[in-house]
Amino acid sequence: MAIGGTKVNVKTAKVIRYVGLIVPVGLFLYGSLIKYDLIASTSFLNNGLFYAIIIPWLILAVYQFVFPGKSELSSVTRIVLYHLFATAYLLCVSGLALPIVTTWTLLFLATYAYFGDNGLRLSVITLLIVVVTDSAYHVEDTKLLTANIIAIITVLLIGVASIGISRIRETESDALDHSKALEALERDRILTLINNLADAIISTDENGIVRVYNASSLSLLDTNNNLNGRNIDEILHLMDGDKKRVSLLKEMQKSRGVVVRDDMTITFSDDIVRLEVTYSPIRGTFSRTRGGDNEDGYVIIMRDITKSKSLEEERDEFISVISHELRTPITVVEGTVSNVQLMMERPDIPPQRLKDSLMVAHDQVVFLAKMVNDLSTLSRAERGVADTAEDINVRILIDDIYNEYAPEAKDKNLHFDLDTSPSLGTINASKLYVQELLQNFVTNAIKYTNEGNVTLIVTKHKDTVEFAVKDTGIGISKSDQSKIFNKFYRSEDYRTRETGGTGLGLYVALKLAKKLGCHIELTSRLNHGSTFSFSLPLKK
């Protein structure tokens, strides 16, 4: 609180201290003029009394100036003493002569400043007592009584006016404090908000000097340094799509409104980060009131779009590869079916040729169906449709898989074996994903094994169950082992090419394993066979 209460602000207290020193000094000089008869006073009693009042008052004045009061008690004591000295001075030295009595308004102000309305009332009452006492002494002197009445009215008027002014100032400064506090709160709110945004936000002045930035700006720029006061082009080394250096400040100065660009990049030691940069000028009401269309600065919002851009590119590439992969079988089916139609019109064509052609078309349709199936599994896994985990009895799961594929293995004259621990326990995972993974490995094992065994091995360890599909098939060369999990990759090995396949199975398997939180292990030797395995935690 500025004034009008017990907590006086530093500035007011300082003014009161100085006034408290100057006034008694002034009164000492005024009293001396009376003493030497240079000014008339009917109240001046004698020299001894004058000194008895003014000397301790001067001592108090110097003391309060050198040792400003800290406690409320010392403020009360000082103000009461000042009132007593002033009372004695007016009654015994100067009388209520007009210029001097007005110094009492200073007592009003100081008392009001320290003790508010109650203090002010006491000060006014003291003055009234002084006036009444003085008037009682000079009751026969009408001139002096009139002078006293004029003096008291003058002091009260000046007092009321000064207190009124200080009250207005008090209200204004309260309103100012309130609006400053609101502004600080608003600023804190906005800062908290922008600090919690994932996007980097930087605000600069019209010369591109950074004024405000949020926490994400530091992580985007990979720095801990203070950015305030630095030039935006110095801290942001932006490149455009043609790898040319971009001066953001120049771009911002050219722009007339909000601009969004997603072709910018920023390079760190070994990383290129792709950015979506949005910038716009700030036109504050302040600059408008100054007249003119001046910008106050700029706001820049940056978002790391590296991931979404590469996903976008990956998707585009995927679509282009898929359409290519689908085109070949569709062309084959279309061509073969047209051929069959033509052949059917010619009686000389043997039925076996028709049958063979239809067989080719059929195989391609089966291939297409397999690819569509793989794609839908992939899409399901990517969308997380079957992410929900459930308790799976491993024994039942394995028996089901074994029974499903035993006929296929038998058709190829392969030994399909089941090698499991006596008890297998329960796991908690997405059943669909575990099934798809095992089916993928078993189908491949049967497909890429011409003679020998395919074994489904399930081993219960302390905390995990390990699933492995082992075959004695064609095996996978070292160089292929690193590639077979890529999408649409099929080995160049002629024995692989003899079989139909989309090259998507293991790519899907890798995605599913990621979803299940496990790794696929592969051990393989060309012409000796392969083992694909993964482990899942047992349910406690």
According to the binding rule CB under 6 A, does residue 448 interact with ligand ADP?
A: yes
Contact positions with ligand ADP (CB under 6 A) in 360-389: none
Which amino acid would we find at residue 87?
T
Q: Among 424, 445, 456, 510, indicate the residue that binds ligand ADP (CB under 6 A).
A: 445
> Which among 137-145, 336-344, 429-437, 468-476 is the span making contact with ligand ADP, rule CB under 6 A?
468-476
Q: Which residues pair with 464 in a beta bridge?
A: 537
Q: CB 429 → ligand ADP: shortest distance, Å?
A: 21
Could you say whether residue 329 binds ligand ADP (CB under 6 A)?
no
526-529 contacts, C-beta under 8 A, 24 or more apart = 526/474, 526/475, 526/476, 526/477, 527/474, 527/475, 528/472, 528/475, 529/449, 529/452, 529/470, 529/471, 529/472, 529/473, 529/475
Closest approach of ligand ADP to the CB of residue 487, in Å? 8
- Cα separation, 104 vs 23, whole angstroms: 10
Whether the CB-CB separation of 516 and 535 falls below 8 Å is answered with no
In the complex, what is the shortest distance from the CB of residue 524 to ligand ADP, in angstroms, rounded to a whole number?
7
**Cα(508)–Cα(485) distance, rounded to whole angstroms?**
8
Q: Of 48, 57, 62, whose CA–CA distance to 83 is shortest?
A: 57
Nearer to ligand ADP, 24 or 473 (CB): 473
471 forms part of the interface with ligand ADP (CB under 6 A): yes
Single residue of 530, 533, 534, 536 touching ligand ADP by CB under 6 A: 530
Say if residues 249 and 233 touch (Cβ distance below 8 Å). Answer: yes
Nearer to ligand ADP, 274 or 490 (CB): 490
**Contact (Cβ atoms closer than 8 angstroms) between residue 65 and residue 21:** yes
Question: Which long-range CB contacts under 8 A does 408-414 form with residues at least 24 apart?
Answer: 408/443, 408/446, 409/446, 409/454, 412/446, 412/449, 412/450, 413/451, 414/446, 414/449, 414/451, 414/452, 414/453, 414/454
Residue 442 binds ligand ADP (CB under 6 A): no
**Per CB under 6 A, 119 contacts ligand ADP:** no
Rounded to a whole number of angstroms, the minimum distance from the CB of residue 309 to ligand ADP is 27
Per DSSP, the residues of 128-173 read HHHHHHHHHHTTT-HHHHHHHHHHHHHHHHHHHHHHHHHHHHHHHH
Binding mask 507-526 for ligand ADP (x = CB under 6 A): x-------------------
Count residues binding ligand ADP (CB under 6 A).
Answer: 21
Smaller CB distance to ligand ADP: residue 41 or 502? 502
Question: 111 vs 472, which CB is nearer to ligand ADP?
Answer: 472
Least separation in angstroms between residue 480's CB and ligand ADP is 6
> Cα–Cα–Cα angle for 492, 526, 493, nearest 5°?
15
DSSP 90: I
Q: Does 468 sit near ligand ADP (CB under 6 A)?
A: no
Burial grade of 407 (CB within 10 A; 0-12, 13-18, 19 or more): exposed
State which of residues 473, 515, 518, 536 lies at the interface with ligand ADP (CB under 6 A): 473
Token pair, residue 509, equals 């398997």
- Give the nearest distance from C-beta 432 to ligand ADP in angstroms: 18
Residue in 148, 265, 444, 472 binding ligand ADP, rule: CB under 6 A: 444
- φ/ψ region of 458 (left if φ > 0, alpha if ψ in -120 to 50, else beta) reads beta
Q: Which is nearer to ligand ADP, 433 or 448 (CB)?
A: 448
d(CA 402, CA 391): 20
Of the residues 151, 200, 506, 513, which one makes contact with ligand ADP according to CB under 6 A: 506
**What is the length of the chain?**
540
**Token pair in block for residue 529:** 């066979």
Report the residue number, 126 or 444, with the smaller CB distance to ligand ADP: 444
Question: Nearest approach, Cβ of 488 to ligand ADP (angstroms)?
Answer: 8
User: Given CA atoms 56, 60, 61, 62 in this order, what sign does their dihedral have?
Assistant: positive
DSSP-derived letter for residue 393 is: E
CB 424, min distance to ligand ADP, A: 23
Measured from the CB of residue 427, what is the shortest distance to ligand ADP in angstroms? 24
505 in contact with ligand ADP (CB under 6 A): yes
Select 304 or 471, whichever has its Cβ closest to ligand ADP.
471
Residue 476 touches ligand ADP, criterion: CB under 6 A: yes
- From the CB of 406, what's the least distance to ligand ADP, in Å? 17
Does the protein bind ligand ADP through residue 95 (CB under 6 A)?
no
Q: Under the criterion CB under 6 A, does residue 501 sit at the interface with ligand ADP?
A: yes
Q: Does residue 502 interact with ligand ADP by CB under 6 A?
A: yes
Given 27, 155, 474, 518, the residue binding ligand ADP (CB under 6 A): 474
Q: How far apart are CB 446 and ligand ADP at their closest, in Å?
A: 9
Which ranges in 261-393 belong to alpha helices (H)? 285-289, 306-345, 351-383
State the helix-helix crossing angle for 72-89 and 47-66, rounded to 10 degrees: 160
Residue selected from 470, 490, 511, 515 as contacting ligand ADP according to rule CB under 6 A: 490
d(CA 118, CA 115): 6
Which lies closer to ligand ADP via its Cβ, residue 114 or residue 532?
Answer: 532
Q: Is 292 helix (H, G, I), strand (E, B) or coil?
A: coil
Residue ranges binding ligand ADP (CB under 6 A): 444-445, 448, 471, 473-476, 484, 489-491, 496, 501-507, 530
